Structure 1
Amino acid sequence: MSPEIIIPPLPPSSLPKYLYRIHYPRSWTTYSPDILGFRAKDLTTMGPATISQFTNHLQWKINIPSRFISTLSSKSYAISWARSLEQYKNSETRDTVRLMTIQTEGLGGPMFVYNMKQAFEGAGILPPEDLMEYLRDEEYLILYGIPASRVIRIEGIDTAVDVTAPVTTKIERTDTIDRTKTTQECIDSGAELNMVDPRKGFDEFIRGMETLCLEMKTIVESFKLLSSHTQAIVCAV
């Protein structure tokens, strides 16, 4: 199997409307409900995606850091897979396993999306025999990260809504900050990225978010200062 076989990302128009990810605290892919959302374990490897990287990703049980985030196009299969996890089978950690619904609209460079099975078939090769069971039509890999604004629903495995029910675009979670516009601008700014170095765009995305957070902090401090001045004036009167 040649590590030089490069895999092109899927065109955004070919993606399912929604993808699903099972998340739990010990997952190598971290999740933050703020702007950053999901972040892959490996954020340092650069260059285009290759078959060898996909093969390593399939071997997640041997702890090879991956720059891809696994998602599934089937909600029912995602729930079934979640129920096979030790974290779910353990009654003490079951409630920490969550089903995340991801809206794919707006995903693109540097957050390129790949279909695992299509990648191997397109390259004309098969993964090692012991990994064949993990190669499924439903699995889509997302490079580097998924903005929190694309996570539109977070559910418990046993409280998930009917898999046939339509998903609204309303973000169903505890925080109420609307970040859609800001995140979309960051995504749009990377639309013309060169596939040779998609990480560059992700670095710019992170720096932009850090700058935004600092600006928001400054605004909050300004309001606090204004409030204290207003109270002082009222007391003086």
Structure 2
Amino acid sequence: MNFVSRDPSGTLVGALAAQIDANGYAVIEDYVAPDELRGARAFVADAIAANGGEYVGFTGTERLGGTFLADLPEDPDFVALCRGIYARAVGKPAPEVGFYQILRCLSGRGARAHSMRFHYDSYVLTALIPIVVPERGSPGRLIILPSTRGLRRTYLGNLVDKVLVDNRLAQALLNVAYRRGSRRMIRLSLKPGNLYFFWGYRSLHTNEPCDADAIRATALLHYADPHADSRVKRALRRR
């Protein structure tokens, strides 16, 4: 793994946090070593083939053995990087918590169903590593509408935000703005092996669809749920 070296001065962390604030995202080029990336790409190809060429997703690391993704959430440099960015953004020490990790592999007819759905993440910081990006047709760009809300004090405030977005009218309006070329929306072409950061909790975001015969695979590592200790959240999830 071509991990970034430790940054005791905090220069890199500060620069990345400032870039996210200013540009809506930050990127570390060629974060993943080529041999590690090849192994992950082979894993994705095999998984999609085993699923008949259709969408497949993985939560956590249990089924990702043999790829760099199985070890990434425990890598001390990566962990320190994410916690440092969080601390700069929120203004308080980062919590000692793990990551919520997903590997999304878009392909086949299901690719469109898993695209162009604007949403907020439940976690403050989102780290994204593209594994496979289509080389022809639609590349499945990441669409970000940055800093459209702040950190809500309560889980109910967060829930209201999500309800206001997760409905047909709101989605239709956001898609119209996208098709009309809204300048507020960032259309980010992804490069496999790069490491991208953005404020997933604060920014509406989605991805463009890729062609049915193409593959778009991205690893997402979400850090720090500000409402993890909410009693309301726990009560609703028990229902």
TM band (smaller chain)? under 0.3
Give the TM-score taking structure 1 as reference length: 0.27
More helix by proportion, 1 or 2? 1
Larger radius of gyration: 1
